[in-house]
């Protein structure tokens, strides 16, 4: 992910807002007509980074399900703060999967429980029906923001379904979901925290024999708790999606300063300079670990010597990460039938 691609995304977003206004006979996009969608995987067996145990205990155990299957949850929400019904992708048919939970939701089946072009087309039809009552005037165009997954950007049938009901789809830049995707920034973290807690309680009460038929019932309360209007509206506003903030990148320069430095050596030098102003050596070490710049054991334990020691270790770091520092990785870029790079942010279904 580079700032140039993010800048390009906001330029595309501005063009999309302008075109939606033109196509809608001068009506601006409202919060009810700006949407985002994202997927996430969910497992019946819970994982925990921490387990509370008595001090000195040598063997600590965690009760969990022996079921390793997962489902994919496709979620959408509008800038008005309303979360839509989720769409599930299962690895096989599950009898009475929903039970009394998630009224209005649907599921589909793939062998891997992952999205594909067919699933995206089916989801598009489901999405259109789900927003019909809340989008307002059906003659006014809507905006839907998707990540750059090939099934979204190169799925012509699904995009055609959206075009037919006046929905413009825009793709995010590559590797930017953690910064620009509303669900990743504002919803999925609390959702998975609530889900993990409820799954733990269910496991303690009912034992480890949980499978996919129990999942919908466990998911419903965490889903609605995390998808509250405050989280959704805050996410749209924070990411400059609605109300539109096309200067978002300029206002978040510090976040992207290192990304603007193309050479890894230069990034390392920048961190060395920052170390002089850092509150502690640990903060600088965390930054180095984030950039994966090499063996941090070379850093002196003496706080006052951290900057010169970092500089002296640069030659060793260059050797250990030579393949990352001296040449770019060869990446095969997929293109659509028009020869357009499907990774780049753009309007996917412009009429």
Measured CA to CA, the distance from residue 19 to residue 169 in angstroms comes to 12
Q: Tell me the three state secondary structure of residue 20.
A: helix
pLDDT digits (tens, 9 = 90+) for 98-149: 988 999 999 999 999 999 999 999 999 999 999 999 999 999 999 999 998 8
91 and 161 inside one domain: yes
230 and 279 inside one domain: no
Q: How many domains does the chain have?
A: 2
Q: Is residue 349 part of a domain?
A: no
pLDDT digits (tens, 9 = 90+) for 167-186: 999 999 888 888 899 999 99
85 and 134 inside one domain: yes
176 and 284 inside one domain: no
128 and 223 inside one domain: yes
116 and 141 inside one domain: yes
Find the radius of gyration of the CA atoms of the chain: 23
Two structure tokens written together for 128: 């259109």
188 and 273 inside one domain: no
Segment 193-206 shows an average pLDDT of 85
67 and 199 inside one domain: yes
Q: Is residue 93 part of a domain?
A: yes
The residue range of the domain holding 273 is 261-320
Q: Is residue 291 part of a domain?
A: yes
Decide which of 269 and 264 is more confident.
269
Provide the pLDDT confidence category of residue 281 given band limits of 50, 70 and 90: low
H or E, element range at 320: helix 314-320
Whether residue 289 is predicted with pLDDT greater than 60 in this model: the reply is no
What confidence score (pLDDT) does residue 225 get? 96
Torsion angle (degrees, nearest 10) of CA 76, 77, 78, 81: 180
Q: Is residue 345 part of a domain?
A: no
Two structure tokens written together for 67: 């079921």
Least confident of 13-22, 169-178, 281-290: 281-290
Q: 184-188: long-range contacts (C-beta < 8 A, 24 or more apart)?
A: 184/38, 185/235, 185/238, 185/239, 186/231, 186/232, 186/234, 186/235, 186/238, 187/75, 187/77, 187/226, 187/227, 187/231, 187/232, 187/235, 188/38, 188/40, 188/226
Q: Tell me the three state secondary structure of residue 146.
A: strand
267 and 246 inside one domain: no
Least confident of 88-97, 143-152, 251-260: 251-260
What confidence score (pLDDT) does residue 299 get? 42
């Amino acid at each position: 992910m580079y700032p140039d691609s993010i800048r390009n995304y906001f330029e595309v977003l501005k063009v999309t807002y302008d075109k939606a206004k033109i196509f809608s006979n001068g009506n601006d996009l409202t919060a009810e007509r700006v949407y985002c969608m994202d997927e996430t995987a969910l497992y019946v067996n819970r994982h925990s980074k921490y387990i509370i145990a008595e001090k000195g205990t040598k063997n600590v155990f965690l009760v969990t399900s022996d079921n390793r299957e997962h489902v994919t949850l496709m979620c959408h929400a509008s800038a008005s703060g309303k979360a839509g019904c989720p769409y599930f992708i299962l690895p096989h048919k599950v009898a009475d999967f929903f039970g009394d939970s998630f009224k209005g939701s649907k599921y589909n089946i793939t062998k891997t429980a992952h999205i594909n072009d067919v699933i995206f087309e089916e989801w598009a039809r489901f999405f259109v029906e789900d927003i019909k009552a809340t989008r307002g005037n059906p003659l006014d165009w809507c905006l839907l923001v998707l990540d750059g997954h090939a099934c979204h950007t190169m799925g012509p049938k699904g995009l055609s379904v959206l075009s037919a009901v006046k929905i413009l789809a825009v793709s995010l830049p590559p590797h930017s979901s953690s910064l620009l995707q509303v669900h990743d920034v504002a919803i999925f973290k609390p959702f998975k925290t609530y889900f993990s807690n409820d799954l733990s309680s269910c496991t303690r009460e009912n034992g480890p024999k949980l499978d996919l038929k129990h999942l919908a019932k466990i998911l419903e309360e965490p889903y609605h708790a995390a998808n509250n209007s405050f989280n959704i509206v805050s996410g749209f506003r924070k990411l400059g999606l609605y109300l539109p903030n096309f200067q978002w990148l300029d206002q978040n320069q510090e976040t992207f300063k290192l990304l603007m430095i193309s050479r890894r050596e230069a990034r390392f030098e920048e961190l060395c300079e920052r170390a002089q102003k850092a509150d502690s050596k640990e903060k600088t070490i965390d930054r180095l670990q984030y950039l994966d710049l090499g063996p941090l054991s070379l850093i002196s334990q003496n706080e006052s010597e951290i900057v010169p020691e970092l500089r002296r270790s640069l030659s060793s770091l260059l050797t250990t990460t030579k393949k990352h520092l001296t040449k770019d990785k060869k990446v095969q870029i997929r293109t659509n039938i028009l020869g357009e790079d499907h990774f780049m942010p753009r309007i996917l279904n412009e009429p």
